[in-house]
Amino acid sequence: MDSPPAALLRIADPPLGLYFRPGRNDHTTLLQMVAAGPPPFHGAVLNASLEKRQRELRLHLENSHYERVLDPMALELATRGGWERDALRGLEWAGKERHVPAHFAHSGVAGLVDPIAKFAAENRYSAVLAPTHYIENVDDPWWKIDRRAARRLRLQLDAGDRQDVLIYYRLAVSRQTLIDREQRFAILAALADLDIDAVWLCLHPVSSRSGPIVLRSYLELCRDLASIDAPLVAERAGFLGLALLGMNAVGGIESGITLGQGYQVNRLLSPPRKEDSAEVFAPQPRVYIERLGITLTKQEARSFLSAQGMKRRFACQDRTCCRHWEDMIRDPRRHFVFTRAAEVASFSCVPVHNRPTVCVDWIRNASDDAVHAAKYNAVKFEKDRKRLSEWRLTLASVVDRRNYSESVHAPEGQRNRNHHRASSLH
């Protein structure tokens, strides 16, 4: 057979990154799917305090060559809400009191970093989220401590003959701080001096239902952050994270499984008092409505899909995922994992220079679908209709002005050698 003309050949773009963060009760679903041959994703971010509970999942991920990213929960250990969790206080690096900058400024970061490096090596994690903290600005005392911790983590992993373990720097910061250009460029300069393999963007406040101002500012932030020459991964951005992928703003997203589709640091910094709260139960998984990018309770989803004409438009059409629309409700975790993987894959298979145009069409369709949902229940869906309509206008404006990148650095599960060489020159 003759070879195709050279003009028709192109090197496939690396697949966009997708990482799932299983909650306390999500690992069983993910484990079953890995064993059965799951939809494509890069790996999972695993809570260190759930190691014993999720050990089998970690081992299956390793055997199937998926990334196992350790979250040492350092950010949570420095907050009132995190320190109240018994499981977190039981971590070897937790110490005897809530973490504060003064302690590490005086005693150094070895007591925090060294046991994390040992834990990651012994349990064969393939990557570690650097033990960083939520910072208010570049004058926050945590900022300098966190960079020292990232450097020591690399040294300790290398000394333990684990040069293969990646370090993902979790930048947890207010979105308002990064909007300040002076603050933003100071952060960029500091990150460029670190030997890291990706930047995990944990911005507050961001969620699936953020408005157009959040979307536009996130796109602008990522354009500048791309100069770090390391993959960018949007953490817990939900449906908005898919828009960031489609606009070439980030190379990957991290997603909870039906839950965790947004980030609000105030829930950790200022949690409700226990005596003021109802008894805490594990939250129930929610049903993902792909065409709207939202989740509903099982009761809401059943009522919505049972209405005239709604199943035809909004029920899952992927028969490898759901054979019947009620499967969305019976097993919402499985439905979510399959659907989110398919959403990311649909952008991955589009040439990178065409993705923004495709993304605008995708949001236009979601906006049209929201109009139909609002006709069913205006009180429930009017805000979603308005938000998606505003997203469509925002993204169309970006594309019309060609104010987007025509390349993206997707995570590839290996050391970021280019960034290592650049950082060593500073």
pLDDT of residue 175: 87
Stretch 271-277: mean pLDDT: 56
Output the pLDDT for position 260.
85
**Residue 67: closest CA among 233, 181, 222, 194:** 233
- How far, in Å, CA of 419 to CA of 46, rounded? 25
CATH superfamily, region 13-276: Queuine tRNA-ribosyltransferase-like (3.20.20.105)
| 297 has pLDDT over 80 | yes
Q: 281 falls in which pLDDT band (50, 70, 90)?
A: low
How much of the chain exceeds pLDDT 90, in percent?
Answer: 80
- Asked if pLDDT for residue 239 goes beyond 60, the answer is yes
Q: Is the pLDDT assigned to residue 5 strictly greater than 50?
A: no
Q: Which residues pair with 207 in a beta bridge?
A: 262
| pLDDT digit string, tens, across residues 34-48 | 888 877 899 999 999
Residues 34, 64 contacting (CB under 8 angstroms): yes
pLDDT above 60: residue 423: no
Residue 326 token pair: 């009620």
Q: How confident is the model at residue 91 (pLDDT cuts 50, 70, 90)?
A: very high
Confidence of residue 273 (pLDDT cuts 50, 70, 90): low
Three-state secondary structure of the chain: CCCCCHHHCCCCCCCCEEEEECCCCCHHHHHHHHHHCCCCCCEEEEEHHHCCCCHHHHHHHHHCCCEEEEECCHHHHCCHHHHCCHHHHCCCCCCCCCCCHHHHHHHCCHHHHHHHHHHHHHCCCCEEECCCCCECCCCCHHHHHHHHHHHHHHHHHHHCCCCCCEEEEEEEEEHHHHHCHHHHHHHHHHHCCCCCCEEEEEEECEECCCCHHHHHHHHHHHHHHHHHCCCEEEECCHHHHHHHHHCCCCCEEEEECCCCCEECCHHHHCCCCHHHCCCCCCCCCCEEECCCCEEECHHHHHHHHHCCCHHHHHCCCCCCCCCCCCHHHHCHHHHHHHHHHHHHHHHHCCCCCCHHHHHHHHHHHHHHHHHHHHHHCHHHHHHHHHHHHHHHHHHHHHHHCCCCCCCCCCCCCCCCHHHHHHHHCC
Model pLDDT, residue 426: 44
Residues 271-290 have a mean pLDDT of 71
CA distance 381 to 292: 10
Confidence bin at 275 (pLDDT 50/70/90) = very low
Q: Are residues 335 and 315 in contact, defined by beta-carbon separation less than 8 angstroms?
A: no
- Which residues of 112-230 form beta strands (DSSP E)? 127-129, 166-174, 198-204, 206-207
Confidence of residue 419 (pLDDT cuts 50, 70, 90): low
Query: pLDDT tens-digit profile of 178-203?
Result: 889 899 999 999 999 999 999 999 99
Check residue 417 and give its pLDDT: 65
The mean per-residue pLDDT over the stretch 111-115 comes to: 97
For residue 15, which amino acid is it? Answer: P
The domain locations on the chain are 13-276, 287-400
Is the pLDDT at 205 greater than 70? The verdict is: yes
Q: Is the pLDDT of residue 3 over 60?
A: no
Question: Other C-beta atoms within 10 Å of 100: how many?
Answer: 12
CA-to-CA distance for 144 and 238, rounded, in angstroms?
30
CA distance 289 to 13: 29
Q: What is the mean pLDDT of the chain?
A: 91
How many residues are given for the chain?
426
Task: Please say if the pLDDT value at position 133 is more than 70.
Answer: yes
The stretch 225-233 carries a mean pLDDT of 93
- Average of pLDDT values for 116-125? 98
Q: Which amino acid is at 387?
A: R
| 47-70 residue pLDDT tens | 999 999 999 999 999 999 999 999
Mean pLDDT of the region 143-169: 97
What band does 272 get if pLDDT is binned at 50, 70 and 90?
Answer: low
Q: What is the pTM of this model?
A: 0.92
* Amino acid code (one letter) for 275: E
Q: Is the pLDDT of residue 382 over 90?
A: yes
Report, in this order, helix, strand and coil percent for the chain, each rounded to 5. Answer: 50, 15, 35
Amino acid 11: pLDDT? 52
Evaluate whether 43 touches 68 at the Cβ level (below 8 Å): yes
Q: What is the pLDDT of residue 12?
A: 63
The identity of residue 239, as a single letter, is F
pLDDT digits (tens, 9 = 90+) for 329-379: 999 999 999 999 999 999 999 999 999 999 999 999 999 999 999 999 999
Contacts of 207 (CB under 8 A, 6+ apart): 236, 237, 238, 240, 261, 262, 263, 264
